Chain A
Amino acid sequence: MTTKLNTPELSRRALLKSAAAGGVTLAASATVTAGATTAAQALEKETKENPITTKQDWNQVLGDGVDANPYGKPSEYEKNVIRRSVPWLTASPESSINFTPLHELDGIITPNGLCFERHHAGIAEVDPTEHRLMINGLVDKPLVFTMEDLKRFPRTNKIYFLECAANSGMEWRGAQLNGCQFTHGMIHCVNYTGVLLKDILAEAGLKTNAKWLMPEGADASGMNRSVPIEKALKDCMVAFKMNGEALRPEQGYPLRLVIPGWEGNMWVKWLRRIEVGDMPWHAREETSKYTDLMENGKARRFTWEMDCKSIITNPSPQAPITHGKGHTVLTGLAWSGRGTIDRVDITLDGGKNWQKARIDGPSLDKALHRFYFEFEWDGRPLLLQSRAIDSTGYVQPTKDELREVRGTNSIYHNNGIQTWHVNGKGEAENVEIS
């Protein structure tokens, strides 16, 4: 270990100097909140443990050589950046869900190890050499493909978000979970490499009465859903890579279906078979589950597109403002299963006044969009909301607007506007407002 070069003299001098120059600041800060660190205290701390005047280990001694981590992993200082679950939500961890830590991420791409997981019978550990994709049903010739066969089709690369239909489902009746990871973390956005489903179907040859597909997984839930042929031929992919590397086992290694913009449950993982038919199957996950129950007892089915939605990820309950008042960066994500995002509006006062946020980075069809809004925080409480408008002109509704149409038993497809209350200390809470 190296010796820390802390000089008490330096600390005292720096503190005195700051107190003399910043008397006004000091008085103003103290009135904000008792809990906030004052500028002088912050400087004293900074001086005692000064990262500039103190030599650090990493300045002097050698670090690990190459191959210390042949795959690589995040810094140990990032150990809080993990997926988290809410154990009381489900009966067992094998048929459960966890959440992407949106408040710790930036840009539009979700790192593979942080993409939320949803399994219905645990993670299938599939040997890729034993994996097959079968196309059968209303085709000229039923076919079987190995992974090697599939990689010989023309490949394509696309960045898409995947959102679970139940994302924000716990919030239908009111503010419940305190953190955007839990309220909005059933989403990820990665770059898929794979082949177009229409090319695979063309190999088998679709019969003229082919109207629906039933993709099926190789896991112990044998996940199956019905997909209309129009969507399959439009933009569906069969993917084997995410963000450049093989799919993670929890994301369906070695093969998953990609259904851009549509609810995540349909993106069958460990994809082993696609049957072609002339009518839908009405499988469990499209009847008993993932249907939206209205107040009058009627239920919507085949609710496929994920409507336009947005969320402020910072500040948020898990990511409070820690710097006190002054220049503040607000950021978040917006997306639409029907296209790109045209605009994101931000309110700091609970919807009295709105201002346009700045969308930064790529604006891609059915992908996450990153927005920023920089402002001077005066230290007073805030009621933050974001409102996204997509390329079809659809405006993200309030939660009350959704409840007016759908009631509160819907569970799925909740894309209502989220509110965070930020108090004078910078702490945020999930709330609803009038």
Chain B
Amino acid sequence: MLKFPKTLSIVFCLSLCATPVFAGKLNLGREATKAEIKAWDIDVRPDGQGLPEGKGTVEKGEQVFAEQCAACHGDFGEGVDRWPVLAGGLGTIKSEDPVKTVGSYWPYASTVFDYIYRAMPFGNAQSLSPDEVYAVTAYILYLNEIVAEDFELSKKNFTSIKMPNEKNFFADPRPDTPSRSKKKPCMKNCKKEVKITKRARIINVTPEEDKKTAAKE
């Protein structure tokens, strides 16, 4: 008895309410052409999806790196000024001063390829050919002692590269501090004594201009 009118009202609403507002297809936009997709679809995943045809040796990579990358990253990926350090840092990740490099931290080699292919060299992005990107990636892997000096990286052997730190990544487990239901926030007489333990003024790294602003009245 009850089911019938309910079904009726749903049908009624679908036809009269939903359809005129938004049917799912508004016929907006147009189909992307194959050439357009090819021009923009440059992303590369850890399983190798998206890798372009090509190959490059460590030796070739060293040349390209010296010309295109070393000004910021240093000849051996050691980093110039505050530009990113790309190599080394093994064994530092648990220390007080971790050096997060491709070798010591990055979980996937595909990330190196994807990032160089889309964003490097800084200020002249997407100027390297796929072969050059394979070569530079190979060189960076070599600097991190992941491949040998005579290695040639290619679309074919790419997914055989395993990064040493991959196993150390895990999914976000938050919340990792107690919620109200587990620990009621204290409101009265929560501490007996309070002492200042750290002060920003002693470190004195706040930009100068701002101190002038703070002093204004």
Contacts and interface: CB of A to CB of B under 8 A. Distances in A.
Interface stretch (B1-9, B60-68, B132-140, B168-176): B168-176
A145 B29 contact: yes
B214 A179 contact: yes
Interface stretch (B10-18, B51-59, B102-110, B147-155): B102-110
Nearest to A389: B180
A279 interface: yes
Contacts of B180: 389, 393-395
A351 B72 contact: no
A80 interface: yes
B157 interface: no
A199 B190 CA distance: 51
B194 A383 contact: yes
Given A120-B119, A177-B205, A222-B126, A293 B98 contact: yes
Interface in A326-371: 345, 349-355
A220 B187 contact: no
B125 A222 contact: yes
A175 B200 contact: yes
Nearest to A226: B45
B118 A300 contact: no
A117 interface: no
A421 B126 CA distance: 50
A432 B115 CA distance: 39
A322 interface: yes
Nearest to B28: A149
A272 B40 CA distance: 9
Give chain B's interface residue range (CB within 8 Å of chain A).
35 or more
Interface string A390-434: 001111010001100110110000000000010000000111111
Interface string B39-53: 011111111010000
B174 A433 contact: no
Contact of B29 (A149, A154, A351): A149
A353 B189 contact: yes
A288 B194 contact: no
Given A88-B205, A221-B119, A300-B170, A433 B30 contact: no
A351 B178 CA distance: 17
A169 B49 CA distance: 34
A194 interface: no
A373 interface: no
A298 interface: yes
B41 A397 contact: no
Given A221-B125, A287-B111, A432-B198, A406 B169 contact: no
Nearest to B212: A80
A301 interface: yes
Nearest to A134: B32
Interface residues of A, number: 105
Contacts of B47: 279
Interface in A253-310: 272-273, 275, 277, 279-284, 287-288, 291-293, 295-305, 307
Contacts of A222: 42, 118-119, 125-126
Contacts of A401: 177
A374 interface: no
Contacts of A154: 21-22
Contacts of A291: 169
Interface in A134-168: 134-136, 141-146, 149-150, 152-154
B125 to A, nearest CB: 5
A26 to B, nearest CB: 21
A281 B49 CA distance: 9
A203 B191 contact: no
A299 B168 contact: yes
A66 interface: no
B215 to A, nearest CB: 9
A135 B32 CA distance: 8
B35 to A, nearest CB: 12
Which of B25, B26, B45, B107: most chain A Cβ within 10 A? B45
Given A288-B111, A298-B168, A397 B45 contact: no
Given A287-B106, A432-B196, A281 B214 contact: no
Given A143-B29, A433-B196, A288 B216 contact: no
A27 B164 CA distance: 71
Nearest to A220: B125
B36 to A, nearest CB: 7
Contacts of B174: 303, 305, 307
Contacts of B213: 80, 318
Given A153-B26, A222-B126, 8 more contacts: A88-B205, A135-B32, A141-B31, A174-B203, A182-B207, A300-B170, A307-B175, A389-B185
Interface of A: 80, 84-88, 90-92, 94-95, 120-121, 134-136, 141-146, 149-150, 152-154, 174-179, 181-182, 199, 202-203, 214, 216, 220-222, 224, 272-273, 275, 277, 279-284, 287-288, 291-293, 295-305, 307, 317-320, 322, 345, 349-355, 383, 387, 389, 392-395, 397, 401-402, 405-406, 408-409, 421, 429-434
8 contacts: A121-B122, A280-B45, A287-B111, A288-B105, A351-B194, A421-B196, A431-B198, A432-B198
